Amino acid sequence: MIDIKLLQKDFDYVVNALQRKGVDNELLNNLKTLASSTKQKRQEMEDVTAEQNLLSKEFGRYKKENLDVAPLQENINNLKNKKQELEEEVRVLEEELTSIILGVPNMPDENVPDGADENENVILEVVGTKPVFSFEPKEHWDLNNGWIDFERGVKIAKSRFAALRGDGARLERALINYMLDFNRERGFNEWYVPFMANSNTLQGTGQLPKFADDLFKIEGEDLYLIPTAEVSLTNLFNDEILEADELPMLLTSYTPCFRKEAGSAGRDTRGLIRQHQFDKVEMVAITTPEQSDEVFAKMVACASDLLTSLGLPHQKMQLCTGDLGFSAAVTIDLEVWLPGQNKYREISSISNTRDFQSRRAKIRYKDGKKNILTHTLNGSSLAVGRTLVAIMENYQNEDGSVRIPEVLKKYM
């Protein structure tokens, strides 16, 4: 959540930042009007409170000097009633303001490049060498090795579900174990977390209220299937005050992820790229503001080195303002090379949300006598299904069989 105090103090700065992210001008104008009204009404309330306190102090003097306290008491009572009216008005305005702000995205960092959409993202680095084939490489769904059963996945559930069998299922499990071990060796503490979360938790990381349509809700319960382990890992510390010497806190976890993929009709309808259920190993960091840039670089390096260890060529992509996610202030995507598709595809997205999620989730740390909002960061390490696809396409043989990367053999 953006800082309401900053919004009221320097509205033009906030507006300029949000306009870079493509926020609608009508929403910003409504926000400005409501923020101004809330600030004005709160000032009225504080003025009445100050006057009431001043008159209350006079009450003792009036009695001591045998003055008539009736007019003074009447004024105090009137001010008390006026204060109660103003408190209710402020409460209503602040609830309305908070409701709107919960749907407003994070402000991008000043050094994030401007751009309308993914076509204006910036390639930072290309890592690894693309494989050369003596035959025309196939897309993963055309490899006749029996690893993926789309028909039975649809039969069990519906479209955009698949079942893995045999060595495909074993490779999926091997990748999960390898990724967790890799992250743990880089200093990330492994967690096993719930695959469901309540609405307060999802609001804390920004999925609610704006993205409710993309979540699978449990009927009759205040529970949703999580879209990413970022939700569970970050909210482990919801409404907590941490000690400064506990930070930075580096976490990793495997979870299945569930997304309705609302708005993706017609995109990636074949294969494993865009499924309603998929496995992912996630990295999350809780840091002080001073630590977050260094930890961000560490997380990008961790995911990139993981891909390199698997022998998968990839590129690092700086997202422009128009392609940034809702909670992100800055994001670097890793895109893996898929020879069957003859293109790079996103396999990891690492974001620094600054204090945007911490303000929503009330995650703070104690520095002396002050409680300060932490910074939170998250990143895929990696999307397991997409890594499976990348291995199938980069390590394919002409007969449809797939070689296993050296680092995974002990897991197979």
Active site residues: 259, 274, 346, 349, 386
Q: Could you tell me how far CA 71 lies from the centroid of its own chain?
A: 57
Residue 132 tokens read as 């050369």
Return d(Cα 363, Cα 359) in angstroms, integer.
7
How far from the centroid of its chain's Cα atoms is residue 328's Cα? 7
Torsion of CA 298, 303, 309, 315, to 10 degrees: -110
Tell me, letter by letter, the H, E, C secondary structure of 220-269.
Answer: CCCCEECCCHHHHHHHCCCCEEEEHHHCCEEEEEEEEEECCCCCCCCCCC
| Contact assessment for residue 279 and residue 256, using Cβ atoms and an 8 Å cutoff | yes
d(C-alpha 333, C-alpha 22), whole Å: 20
First CA to last CA distance, the chain: 44
User: How far apart are alpha carbons 158 and 121 in whole angstroms?
Assistant: 34
The tokens for 63 are 């009695």
Please report which helix (H) or strand (E) contains residue 18, including its range.
Answer: helix 11-20
Sign of the dihedral defined by the CA atoms of residues 257, 263, 265, 270, in that order? negative
CA distance 251 to 63: 64
Beta bridge partners of 315: 126, 335
Query: How does DSSP assign 136-180, residue by residue?
Result: -PPPGGG--SS-EEHHHHHHHS-TT--EE-HHHHHHHHHHHHHHH
